[in-house]
A and B are shown apart, each in its own frame.
Chain A
Amino acid sequence: MTTTPKTITEGEHPILDYIRRDRLPHIFCSACGIGTVLNAFANALRSLNYDIDRLVVISGIGCTGRASGYFAADGYHTTHGRAIAFASGVKVANPDLNPVVISGDGDLFAIGGNHFIHAARRNVDMLVLCINNFNYGMTGGQMGPTTPDSAITVTSPDGNIEHPFNLVSVAAASGAVFVARWTALHARRLTKSIEKALQKKGFKFIEVISPCPTLYDRYNRHGSGLDVMKKYRELSVIRNFTDPMKAEIDYRTRIVCGEFVDTEKPEFTDLLAKQAETLQQR
C-alpha cells in the first residue's frame, strides 16, 4: 500500500514527506554514511516533486538493505542479492512504475553480481544506488568484492589479498547509460546526480563511497566517521567523463568522483512492448 505524503508542518524537516517518520530515528550507527545517502535521495525526490505512487524502492540484505523500509513509497526488502531481479520484475510487469534499488556493495556485487551485469546489459529501466563501505557491514565486517588491497577485515586479518572490483568500471562495461561516483561528503552533488538519473530512462548506476566507522574504518584505523569524511575531502577529485577504468579509489592517494557516463540506448521494456505490438499485428 502506498502512503500518500502528508504535508510538512512548520518547523519540520522538509524531506519528511518522503520518509516513514514512524520508523525514525533509523538504525544506522552514528556517522554512518547510509543516512546521508537516504537524505540525498529524499531531497532529489522533493526537488523533482516526484510522483511517489509510481516509485518502488527495493533493497537487498545488509545495513544498506534496510533503506527500503524508510521511504513512504512502495518497497521490497528482498532476499540477499536479489534486489535487481525484483526491480526487473517490477519494471516488466508494470512499465509505468519506476524501481530504485538502494543496496550495499556486498549485496549488489558479490551474491547479486550476475543480476547487476545482466540488468545493465539489457538496459532495464531502474536506478541503482550502491553504498560502498568496502565490507559486509551487517554481518560484522567481512571482506567483499570492493575491499581494497591489503585492507583489514574480520576475514582478512592479515590484509586482503584479493583484487577489488572498480564498480563504476563494471557498470560502464556492462552497459549502464548513466554512471557516477560520489562520496557521502558530496551530499549535494550526489543529490543532483540522483535528480538527473531519475529523469533518464535505462539502467542508471550511482556509487556512493561511505564511512562504516563501526567496522571497516575501525579495523583499518581510519578514526571516527568524521575523520573519514575529512579524508574524503582531502582525497577526492572531480573528473567528469573520465574513463571509468581510470577512476581509482585509493585511500592513500585519491578518490576520483564525478559523472562518468551519460548516454542513450533503447530500453528493455520499450523494446519488449514494441516487439509485442509487431507480433500482435501479424
Chain B
Amino acid sequence: MLTRQERSPIVPEEETTTKYEIVVNEDWCKGCGFCYTFCPREVLEKSTTFNSKGYYPPEATNIDRCVGCGLCEAICPDFAIHVEEKKTKTTTKRGRK
C-alpha cells in the first residue's frame, strides 16, 4: 500500500534554465585580447573581421559553454563586452520522485 504522501497527485513542475548571451560593442573594442584569452571556458574567439578602427573584437563562438562568470566583462578595459542572463521558464510534468 502507498502512504498518503506517496499518493500525492502528479503536479507540473516549473524549471528555470539559465542561458547567457555575450554582448559586444564592436565600436569601443580595442582588440586587446584580454576577454578571449582569460575566459575560463573558451567561449570567446578573436573575430575574423575588424572594426572601424582596425581592431579585431571577440566573438562568442562557443556560447553554450558560457557559465556567466563575468570575467570577460570585468577585465575589458574598454567596457566593450558584457554578459546577459536569459532565464527561461519551462513547465514539465514530472512523475513521483
> Are B77's CB and A25's CB within 8 A?
no
Residue of B nearest to A226 (CB): B33
Residue of A nearest to B28 (CB): A25
A13 contacts which of B55, B71, B77, B82 (Cβ < 8 Å)? B82
CA distance in complex: A226, B25 (Å): 20
Known contacts A11-B23, A13-B25: does B34 contact A31 (CB below 8 Å)?
yes
- The smallest beta-carbon distance between B39 and chain A, in angstroms, is 13
Known contacts A226-B37, A229-B38: does B77 contact A28 (CB below 8 Å)?
yes
B interface, by DSSP: helix, strand, loop or mixed? loop
- As a 0/1 sequence over residues 4 to 41 of chain B, the CB contacts with chain A under 8 angstroms (1 = contact) are 00000000000000000001010110111110011000
> Are A36's CB and B77's CB within 8 A?
yes
- Interchain pairs with CB closer than 8 A, number: 73
Known contacts A11-B23, A31-B32: does B55 contact A40 (CB below 8 Å)?
no
Is B63 an interface residue, CB under 8 A from the partner?
A: no
Known contacts A11-B23, A25-B27: does B78 contact A35 (CB below 8 Å)?
yes
CA distance in complex: A134, B60 (Å): 34
Is B67 an interface residue, CB under 8 A from the partner?
A: no
> Are B78's CB and A26's CB within 8 A?
yes
CA distance in complex: A211, B27 (Å): 22
Of A85-93, A184-192, A250-258, A261-269, the segment with at least 4 beta carbons within 8 Å of chain B is A184-192
Instruction: Please name all residues of chain B whose beta carbon is closer than 8 Å to the beta carbon of A185 when the two chains form the complex.
Output: 38, 75
Instruction: Please name all residues of chain A whose beta carbon is closer than 8 Å to the beta carbon of B31 when the two chains form the complex.
Output: 30
CA distance in complex: A109, B70 (Å): 33
CA distance in complex: A32, B23 (Å): 22
- The smallest beta-carbon distance between A233 and chain B, in angstroms, is 8
> Are B77's CB and A33's CB within 8 A?
yes
Instruction: Please name all residues of chain A whose beta carbon is closer than 8 Å to the beta carbon of B74 when the two chains form the complex.
Output: 36, 39-40, 43, 187-188, 191
- As a 0/1 sequence over residues 221 to 260 of chain A, the CB contacts with chain B under 8 angstroms (1 = contact) are 0001110011001000000000000000000000000000
Residue of B nearest to A16 (CB): B79
Is A34 an interface residue, CB under 8 A from the partner?
A: yes
> Are A39's CB and B77's CB within 8 A?
yes
Instruction: Please name all residues of chain B whose beta carbon is closer than 8 Å to the beta carbon of A140 when the two chains form the complex.
Output: none
Instruction: Please name all residues of chain A whose beta carbon is closer than 8 Å to the beta carbon of B82 when the two chains form the complex.
Output: 13-14
> Are A30's CB and B32's CB within 8 A?
yes
Residue of A nearest to B75 (CB): A187
- The smallest beta-carbon distance between A19 and chain B, in angstroms, is 7
- As a 0/1 sequence over residues 37 to 77 of chain B, the CB contacts with chain A under 8 angstroms (1 = contact) are 11000000000000000010000000000000011011111
- As a 0/1 sequence over residues 194 to 232 of chain A, the CB contacts with chain B under 8 angstroms (1 = contact) are 000000000000000000000000000000111001100
Residues of A whose CB lies within 8 Å of any CB of B are 10-11, 13-16, 19, 24-26, 28-36, 38-40, 43, 184-185, 187-188, 191, 224-226, 229-230, 233
30 A-B pairs with C-beta separation under 8 A:
A11-B84, A13-B23, A13-B73, A13-B82, A19-B79, A25-B27, A25-B78, A28-B77, A30-B30, A30-B32, A31-B33, A31-B77, A34-B77, A35-B78, A36-B75, A36-B77, A39-B74, A39-B75, A39-B79, A184-B75, A184-B77, A187-B71, A187-B74, A191-B74, A224-B33, A226-B32, A226-B37, A229-B34, A229-B38, A233-B38
Residues of B whose CB lies within 8 Å of any CB of A are 23, 25, 27-28, 30-34, 37-38, 55, 70-71, 73-80, 82, 84
| Known A25-B27, A28-B77; 10 more pairs at CB < 8 Å | A24-B28, A25-B78, A30-B32, A33-B77, A36-B34, A39-B74, A40-B74, A185-B75, A188-B70, A226-B32
